Amino acid sequence: MDKTLFTYTLTPEQGQALERATAGMGALRRVQAPYTTLALKGPKLTVMLYTSGKLVVQGKEAQDFVLFTLEPLVLKQAALGYEETLDPTLYAPHMGTDESGKGDIFGPLVTCAAFIDETTGKALADLGVRDSKTIADGQIQKLAAQIRRLLGRQNVAFVLLRPPTYNRLYAKIPNVNRLLAWCHARAIESLAEQRPDCTRAVVDQFARTEATVARALMARGRKLKVEQMHKAERDIAVAAASVLARDLFVSEMRRLAQEAGLELPKGAGPAVPKTLRALIAQKGPDCLPAFAKCHFKTVHEALAATGHGDALPLPEEAD
């Protein structure tokens, strides 16, 4: 079980670094609290920096905050979970994979694989590379450009499933985890071809069993040692892949918005049904596979609400 309370003592310079690191985190809002120089609150996280230098991080998301923000950007160390996960292999040559767009109704599914060695791994850490979910989209583009310059094309591979392709594949593989495994396996295979010296890959464990990705690998990928772990974004190669995948996702969303002629919201929140209905009104129900992942029930509810309930079959997700 993740810890929910952490305490530290920060220097004044670290306190300033904390303020800079949290400035772009939209989920945290600044509040007033006695005897603090910085007080932040979010739905599942509270960060309090007291005038004495004592820092208290508390809440369900406290461990993620320590792993992905406090340690790499403020403390400049990797201590939490180091014994189990980071160990001496932290900067050893390996690739990491991550995806963006899995839970977004609009837009593509992007999977990226990134290869690092000791030199590039340490340089990525110095850049503050971390899980893209902790970075505002406005900062992603700049950080992704730095990562691309540092790694070069030879050390990065993408699998981009735009909505039409995603929907066709989902019709053949009607299970999100199996489809994700296929994407991660293809990214691993592509980068392994570019980096035949790579012997190890780290993947975030999104499926219940590690065999899901292993089954999707072909001959080249099966030669690698593939490690699946929870919260794998703490691995610097996975974190780099996370940022690059998110950057391409955001770029594709801008392109799709221009094609649609209206803003396409990210995620699956309350703005999505309204936008789906607007698209149907403007372009007809047949346009949806070009913009949305059509297995989501929200898509079919929007079709039903506009009198097009039978326009698209609702796939049954296989086990």
> What's this model's pTM, rounded to 2 decimal places?
0.75
d(CA 72, CA 55): 16
Q: Which CATH superfamily is domain 5-80 in?
A: TATA-Binding Protein (3.30.310.10)
**Band (53; pLDDT cuts 50, 70, 90):** very high
| Type and span of the H or E element at 180 | helix 176-194
pLDDT of residue 258: 97
**Domain boundaries in the chain?**
5-80, 94-254, 268-305
What pLDDT is recorded for position 217? Answer: 80
290 three-class SS: helix
Q: How many CB atoms lie within 10 A of CB 200?
A: 16
**Residue 78, pLDDT score:** 64
User: What fold, for 94-254?
Assistant: Nucleotidyltransferase; domain 5 (3.30.420)
Q: Read out DSSP for 100-132?
A: E-TT-SBS-EEEEEEEE-HHHHHHHHHHT---G
pLDDT at res. 194: 96
Confidence of residue 316 (pLDDT cuts 50, 70, 90): very low
- How confident is the model at residue 83, as a pLDDT? 40
For the residues 230-238, what does the mean pLDDT come to? 85
